[in-house]
Amino acid sequence: MSRLPIQCAMVIAIALPSLVSVHGQDANDYNVRIPPFMSIRALRPDQTQTHPETAGDITFTNSLWLARTASSSGSTVTFAIDHSFINQLNNSFRRDVRLRTPRMFVTRNSGWGFDTFQDQSNYVNGDEIAQVQVSSTGPGAALVFLEVTFITADLATLHDGDYQLTVIGTISEN
């Protein structure tokens, strides 16, 4: 009699796994994407110059920008204005602007290069936009020199007051 319960217990233990059957399977994947780090920063403060009241243009030099990217496909940096220099006392007085990227220092093997080296507004003909661009083919940093030039043009039509312009630097992944 003691043999029977042991045999039953063995049968139950053997039969139990066969009672649980898997009829399908499903899964969810959970992913976290860390976007490539990118940054752009103006390294110098705002600049002001006094016009010498001559026919020459006024160039703001040594405007430095630091662009950094961790993107394996690289990044594109754009420096742009959406209007020419505007007189703050009377916005009907304007002067054109020229943007230029004369040089940059870059990290090795990052593939930084000049896409659009120079551009200029032409407010008389309705072109208020100027934009220059540099880009990389891989991760790395660039110290970009940006020149902003106030184009004097006709000195006789140069109205007194402060002329203002803002340059926006933008970085995006390639």
- Average confidence (pLDDT) per 10 residues, the chain, 174 residues: 47 50 81 88 95 93 93 96 96 96 96 98 96 98 97 92 96 96
Question: What CA–CA distance (Å, rounded) separates 78 from 39?
Answer: 12
- Indicate the pTM of the whole model: 0.79
In a domain, 101, yes or no: yes
In a domain, 166, yes or no: yes
- Residue 2: its pLDDT value, please? 47
Give the residue numbers spanning the domain of 141: 38-173
The mean predicted confidence, pLDDT, of the chain is: 89
- Residue 19: its pLDDT value, please? 54
- Residue 22: its pLDDT value, please? 62
CB 147 within 8 A of CB 65: no
Residues 6+ apart with CB under 8 A from 155: 53, 54, 55
- Residue 10: its pLDDT value, please? 47
CB 120 within 8 A of CB 85: no
- Residue 35: its pLDDT value, please? 78
Nearest by Cα to 78 from 50, 119, 49: 119
In a domain, 127, yes or no: yes
In a domain, 59, yes or no: yes
In a domain, 55, yes or no: yes
Nearest by Cα to 130 from 87, 160, 165: 165
In a domain, 19, yes or no: no
Number of domains in the chain: 1
In a domain, 9, yes or no: no
75-85 burial string, b = 16+ CB within 10 Å, else e?
bbbbbbbebbb
- DSSP H or E stretch at residue 8: helix 3-19
- The CATH number assigned to the domain holding 158 equals 2.60.40
